[in-house]
A and B are shown apart, each in its own frame.
Chain A
C-alpha cells in the first residue's frame, strides 16, 4: 500500500494526495479512488477531480458530514487498487505531422539531435497514459514521452494554437481541444475533436485511458475532417 495524506483546501474542498511524482502507478491509485467516489457518491459532494497524484473532492459544507467524508476518503485511499490490467482499448489518434500543422517539429528534432521523421516515429511509437485533464475542456495530459523528444515548453507561448494541434511539453503530450493560447511545442494536428458537445459523450479522453498516435498525410487529414463533421439531424 502506498502512502497518502488528506489535506484541507478551504472549507468546501478536501484533497487526497499520494506520492509526489508523475508515475502511472501513483496515477492508477488516483483514478481508482476517483472512480469509487463517483460510483458511490457521498451526500453533498459536488465534484471529484483526479489529477496526477491527488484527488480533490468538492462538497457543500452545509450538506456534507465532514467527518464521514474524511473517513470515506481514508478508507478509499488505503484500499488496494484492483490488479493493474492493461486496458484492451487504446484510443488511436490520427496526426498529420509537420509542415503548417506542426511548426515546432524542426525545433523538437533539433532538441533531440534527430531527424523530423524520427520525432514522428518516436511520438507515434508508444502508447500513452491519460494522467489527467485540465487547462480547457477535453485537454488531456498524457505521458510519458520519449526523453529524446521531451522538449520543454516554448519560451514565449503562442497567442493562438489551432484546435487539434498535437503538442509536447517536456515528458507530456496532448491535443489542444479548442483554439487557445498555448506554450507547447506543436508537432502536428489531428482532425479528431477531443471535446465535442454534439457527441453523446463530449470527451474523447478520460483519466486512465490509453492513447496512441498514428501518422496520416494532408489528404487523409482533409478526408477525415470532412467525414467526421457531426451529422445534423
Chain B
C-alpha cells in the first residue's frame, strides 16, 4: 500500500474523519475535524467521499513526501506551499508525482487546513472511525499527532479523479471566506439557560470573547462578559454537545470543541449552531468570538443552505 512520508510533522497534525459516533454512552469522545466544512471540501477536491480521512494541519504545517501519484485537495486555512520547490496555490487541488515533496511554509490566513489525498488516508479504523482523539489516544496513527518519520497509508484512489484546475476554480467561486481572527457565531439557548440569571444571554451577546492560550481541540476557554449562575456552577453530569458553552464557577464560558469529553458537570448556557461551529475551528488563542442568539428555524435554514453549497461543489467535481 502506498504511503505518504512525514518528513516534518508541523505543530499539531492529526488524521481526522467525520468522527467516532455511537460510543459516547461508553465514554468514547467523537473527535473529528475542528472545521467540518473545510474537511469535507478537501475530500471533494481530492475526489473522495465525505467520510474519507484527511489530515488536520494546525498553525504550522508539515512537510510530506508522496510515494505515488495522487490528487491532493487542500481547504481551510491558507499557507504558503511549495511542491518540489515550486509555489502552489494555498487551497484547491493539484496532482503530485511519485517522490514529490510538499512543504507547508508561512501561514497566511486562519488556523486549520485540511489535506486530502485521492483514496483517503487509510489508517486502521478504531470503533468505526479513523479520527484521532488525542486525550484518549484513539484513532489516527497510534492515537497521536503525526511525528517525523511517520508513514501515512493511503487508500486506493478513484479511477477518474476530478480535474485539478476545475476543482480549484469551483472552490474559489462557490464557498464563503474562511474566517480570520474574529467571527460571530449563532447560538440556540440551552440546554441549561434556566440555571443562569435572566440577563445572561444578553451578557453573552454584549461583547466579543477572547480565546485564552490554554485552548485546544477539547475546548476554547473564553474571556469576556461574566455569565452568572443562579443555582451554583455544578449540575449532575450530563451529555456535552459540540458547540455547547459550559460555564464553570468563574463565570467565563468554555466552548466545547471536537475532542470534548462525552459528559460534564457544568451548566451550559447556549449551544453554537451546526452551520457555524466549523468557523470556530479556524480560530486560535488570541482570536475573538461574538455570539448571537438565533431561532431553531434560522439554524436549520443556515444548515440547509450550507449543505446545498457543499453538495453543489461535490456534484460538480464528480
Contacts and interface: CB of A to CB of B under 8 A. Distances in A.
Interface of A: 7-13, 15, 17, 20-22, 34, 46-54, 56, 58, 61-62, 66, 132-139, 141, 177-178, 180, 195, 197, 202-203, 206-207
A48 to B, nearest CB: 7
B26 A203 contact: yes
Interface in B174-204: 187-188, 190-192
A135 B191 contact: no
A17 to B, nearest CB: 8
Interface in B26-58: 26-28, 30
**In the complex, the 4 A-B pairs of residues with the closest C-beta atoms, listed nearest first:** A10-B271, A56-B239, A134-B263, A9-B191
B191 A15 contact: yes
29 contacts: A7-B192, A9-B190, A9-B271, A10-B190, A10-B243, A10-B244, A10-B273, A10-B299, A11-B273, A11-B296, A13-B239, A20-B236, A22-B236, A34-B25, A49-B24, A49-B263, A53-B236, A53-B238, A54-B238, A58-B24, A61-B299, A61-B300, A66-B296, A133-B262, A134-B237, A137-B26, A180-B135, A195-B26, A202-B127
Contacts of A12: 241-242, 274
B195 to A, nearest CB: 11
Contacts, number: 134
A102 to B, nearest CB: 23
Interface residues of B, number: 43
B300 A207 contact: no
A138 B23 CA distance: 10
B148 interface: no
Tell which of B23, B27, B192, B299 has the most Cβ of chain A within 10 Å. Answer: B27
A136 B263 contact: no
A216 B303 CA distance: 56
B21 to A, nearest CB: 5
Contact of A11 (B127, B188, B192, B263): B188
A20 to B, nearest CB: 6
B216 to A, nearest CB: 14
B307 interface: yes
B101 interface: no
A133 B187 CA distance: 28
B280 to A, nearest CB: 13
A74 to B, nearest CB: 17
Contacts of B262: 49, 133-135
A126 B269 CA distance: 38
B3 to A, nearest CB: 23
B136 interface: yes
A207 B25 contact: yes
Contacts of B236: 20-22, 51-53
Nearest to B295: A11
Given A15-B191, A46-B21, A134-B261, A56 B296 contact: no
Nearest to B19: A46
B304 interface: yes
A36 to B, nearest CB: 14
A20 B234 CA distance: 12
A165 to B, nearest CB: 16
Contacts of B303: 11, 61-62
Contacts of A135: 27, 261-263
Interface in B261-303: 261-264, 268, 271-274, 296, 299-300, 303
Nearest to A139: B27
Tell which of A34, A47, A62, A137 has the most Cβ of chain B within 10 Å. Answer: A137
B236 to A, nearest CB: 5
A133 B208 CA distance: 35
Contacts of B126: 197
